[in-house]
Structures are given as structure tokens and as C-alpha cells.
Amino acid sequence: MNDNNILDLEAVGRLKGLVERARKIVLTCHVSPDGDAMGSTLGLARVLQLMGKHPIVVTPDRPPKSLTFLPGYSDVVPASFKPGVASNLLRSADLVVCLDFNASKRVDKMEDYLLQSPATKAMIDHHLDPEGFCDLTISMPRISSTCALLYLIMEAAGWLDYLDRQAASCIYTGMMTDTGNFSYNSNDPRLYHIVADLVSRGVDKDAIYNMACNTFSESCLRLNGYALAEKMQIMRDHQAALIALSLDELQRFGYVKGDTEGLVNRPLAIPGVAYSCFLREDEPGFVKVSMRSKGSFPVNRVCEDYFNGGGHKNAAGGELYMGLDEAIALFMKTLTSNDKYL
């Protein structure tokens, strides 16, 4: 593990050795996988396949429909859907690569299968403060996506010959989604060298943007419109915004998982709003917390301190086992102490 901005070549060499020796490789990522989680697992899976390996991607739950275009999507084994198959794959693997997460609890109900697997484990990730549950950890929190880190690893490992259009499309997807289509965390010039190379390998970046980021159902658009028009609260004195949606409201708009992706970012467009919180009542007594900020405001600290979570400085989340009204009251109570970060 290193905390600077230079890839640890010794660690890449060890990863290369592990991959070369492994016969049964499982690739996995965090629960509610996003473009970076799926892009990095499926991108690495494709490259390993072209190297003659037979990797299998096991995800804690189903990947979102918005990513069905990713090559290899239909071969993914979601543990929530096929727990027996997933646990057997993890138990019999000799190498498990953990992509885009830094803590075993991020695989949710799959945590025991992962921790009990006798396989050698390697982490490739960009979240702060990686836990030590892997035998090999390649963690670079200053890189904006696991996919960009994976590209640098592949380059250093001499694997770019295997990066065909399909693998490159996976890598591009994660780089794009984790930077909001290159609108934040995206001032590292290396990113654009990588993008140039991916496009030259045949990636259709415009099509990927439209499929991953600009395709919505009518009910999804209406839910987001309702949330902004009717539910957004701005607490100007605290430079804060809150949107809270109850189970009832979600059901009224035919909510399906993924429909509120990106909603939490929208209030940040308002000048003077430094951070934004979205509370979604997923089940009675369970509220998912999402927070985003701009500038130096550390929403990961807020999520660690009050919302049983964590994440990055500008994008974090947590979980509350309580009703929505109680969760709203808790958020309101944190406003004054959060002022210290402004």
C-alpha cells in the first residue's frame, strides 16, 4: 500500500505472479455496484480471459440495468440471487481480486464468504484507509477511479496487448462514471492519456455516456423532478441541502434501484451550497444516506461521525436503522457541528 501518487511496481509484480499462478480466479466488488465497480471487474475479467484464464465475476447483489451494455454483464454471478454458487466459487478460488472497495463490510451479506475463502486475496482500490483483509493491497486514493488505477496496473504489468475494445469500454465506463463524465476529480493529466489510448482501441465514448448516464425511464425523470421541486430544502445558514424521500413517495413513482442515482449532486449546483444530503427510506426502519460536497467540506467525516458510514471527502454515504422522520431530525441536529468544516 502507498499513499502517494506513484504506482507501487513491486506490488504490481506480485499481482502479476499471483495471476500467472492462479487457476481459479474470482473478481468481486462492492454492494450496489456502480460503473467503476462493474467496469473494473468486467474489464479485468476480459483481459484475463484473453490471457487464457477463466475468471468469474461475483457481485454481492445484482448490477444495475443501466450497465447491461458492459461486455460480460450477463455472465456475472450476483451472490444475493445465487448464494450457493457464489459461496462455492469463493471457497474454491485460489485468487480473489477485490476491486473498488476498501473494507470487507462493503460486500454486505457476502462478507463471510469472502473472509472465509482460503484464496489469496488482492485489493485494487482507490478509497481512503484500506482495511488489511487482503494479502496484497494496491490502493491509490488520489486516483479518481479504480478503472484508471487498473489501466496503470495493466500498463505496468505489460498487459495492454490484451486490452481490446471490449475491455477498454469497461475501463472507460468506470473512469467516466467516477468523475461525473470528467467534471470532478479529473484534473490529473494522466487520465486524458488513458482516455486517448482507450478511444484509439475503439471505445465509443459518446455512446457509453448516453447508455450509462443519459438514459432514464419516464417515471425516473418524474421522481427526480418531484424531489427537486417539492422536497429539496436549503439551509442557507449552514450551506447545506437536504432531500428526503419516503418509501411511500418512492413507491408512488414506481421507484426502481438506480432511479435516484445522481440526485444528491443536484443541490450543489446552487451557489452557497457546500454539501448536500439525500435520505432514502429503502425499507420501514432503514434509511440510506448519501452525501456530496464541493471544495474542502469532508462529507466522509460527517458520515463516519453520525451516519454509520464513510467514503471520500466529496462523496460519502452511510446507513441509518430508524424511520425517515428520525433520520431527518438527526441530520438537522448535525448542521451546527458541521459548521466547523465550512
Query: Is residue 249 at the binding interface for Mn ion, with CB under 5 A as the rule?
Result: no
How many residues interact with Mn ion (rule CB under 5 A)? Answer: 4
Instruction: Please give the Cα distance from 138 to 149 (Å, whole number).
Output: 9
Which member of 46, 121, 126, 127 binds ligand 5GP (CB under 6 A)?
A: 127
100 binds Mn ion (CB under 5 A): yes
Strands of the 95-99 sheet, one edge to the other: 77-78, 56-59, 25-28, 95-99, 120-125, 136-139
What are the residues facing 283 on neighbouring strands?
A: 286
Name which of 176, 329, 300 is nearest 242 in CA terms. 329
Q: Least CB distance from residue 138 to ligand 5GP, whole Å? A: 17
Name the residue nearer to ligand 5GP (CB basis): 113 or 307: 307
The minimum distance between CB 202 and ligand 5GP, in angstroms, equals 29
Residue of 8, 36, 61, 261 that binds Mn ion (CB under 5 A): 36
Binds ligand 5GP (CB under 6 A): choice among 70, 77, 232, 315 = 315
Does residue 309 belong to the site contacting ligand 5GP (CB under 6 A)?
yes
- Would you say 64 or 310 has its CB closer to ligand 5GP? 310
Nearer to Mn ion, 32 or 260 (CB): 32
Stretch that binds Mn ion, among 1-9, 22-30, 100-108, 199-207 (CB under 5 A): 100-108
Compute the least distance from the CB of residue 127 to ligand 5GP, in Å. Answer: 5
Q: Does 126 bind ligand 5GP (CB under 6 A)?
A: no
Nearer to ligand 5GP, 65 or 193 (CB): 65
The C-alpha atoms of residue 60 and residue 227 are separated, in whole angstroms, by 29
Which CB sits closer to ligand 5GP, 163 or 303?
Answer: 303
Of 8, 61, 178, 261, the residue at the interface with Mn ion (CB under 5 A) is 178
User: Is residue 320 helix, strand or coil?
Assistant: strand
127 binds, among ligand 5GP, Mn ion, none (CB under 5 to 8 A by kind): ligand 5GP
The count of residues interacting with ligand 5GP (CB under 6 A) is 11
Q: Which three cell numbers stand for residue 225?
A: 423532478
Q: Which is nearer to ligand 5GP, 282 or 319 (CB)?
A: 319
101/83 Cα distance (integer angstroms): 20
| Binding footprint of ligand 5GP on the chain (CB under 6 A) | 127, 290, 309-312, 315-319
